[in-house]
Amino acid sequence: MPFTNVLCCCFRSSENTLQPNEEVSNERQPLLQGQPQSARQSRPAHNDASQRSGRFIARHVGIPELDQRFEDVAEMFNLQQGHHEAMRECLSTLRDRYHCSHGDGLSECLKRIKEEHGTHQITFHMKGYDFSLAVVPNDEVPTKLCSSQDRIRGLCQACKAIVAAGTKLQEMIGWLTKAEERLANQVLEVAPAYQEQRRLEDNLRENLQECHRARELSSAYREEAGKLLNEAALLSGVNP
């Protein structure tokens, strides 16, 4: 069974509270038609910091249930992105610490760790989705080796969190992106003034663009974490 198949809690459904309008104007074009792939390209200057970090900032669209859905997606994606950054930081630290090349994986890091700390018996263990570095004797572990054990534990936790969030996040985003035009009609109905309609419609467009971006990045994060889990399984002798 591939390690990317992690059971995730079900996304709560609120279809009863959001009833999309089935009467869609034939003249309306898809919200994202002809728009840039990344919502970050159209963000105002005051959001430069969020552009660089790639965080999802949900915008208000005037429907409480829909606002909550976008906020939930933004929160989960930002958490997953943070775990991805932590995963990369842990692996990068191990590479630098043991003079590995930039593209080296966990296998090469483990090889260098064993070479440098030859006076200790070092074993890579994996149980379920948890992997760790066991050291014998464990009463006098060098500070550097102890710190590397912590990094590998951090790498494990980050990988698990990334994979666990993936399925639920894709489901949440899928619900929103499959109903773009119907959601647009709902947003227009709640705004009495033309100027407010345009503002809310722009916000909805921004949110949907960010959803598409988040879906692509989330899939890439999950694939990267899955490869690390598979590599960890091979190192421990477990068949992934």
In this prediction, residue 53 carries a pLDDT of 53
> For residues 176 and 146, what is the distance between their CA atoms, to the nearest angstrom?
45
pLDDT bucket at 16, cuts 50 / 70 / 90: very low
pLDDT of residue 64 exceeding 70, the answer is: yes
pLDDT of residue 34 exceeding 70, the answer is: no
Name the percent of the chain lying above pLDDT 90: 67
Name the percent of the chain lying above pLDDT 70: 77
* Residues sharing a CB contact under 8 Å with residue 18, sequence separation 6 or more, in sequence order: 63, 65, 66, 186
Mean pLDDT of 164-175: 95
Mean pLDDT of 96-113: 95
Mean pLDDT of 194-207: 93
87 or 49, greater pLDDT = 87
pLDDT of residue 62 exceeding 70, the answer is: yes
In this prediction, residue 18 carries a pLDDT of 46
**Which residues are bridge partners to 108 per DSSP?**
none
pLDDT of residue 74 exceeding 90, the answer is: yes
pLDDT of residue 197 exceeding 50, the answer is: yes
In this structure, are residues 193 and 213 in contact, taking their beta carbons and an 8 Å threshold? no
- Identify the helix (H) or strand (E) that includes residue 132: strand 130-136
Domain residues of the chain, as ranges? Answer: 60-236
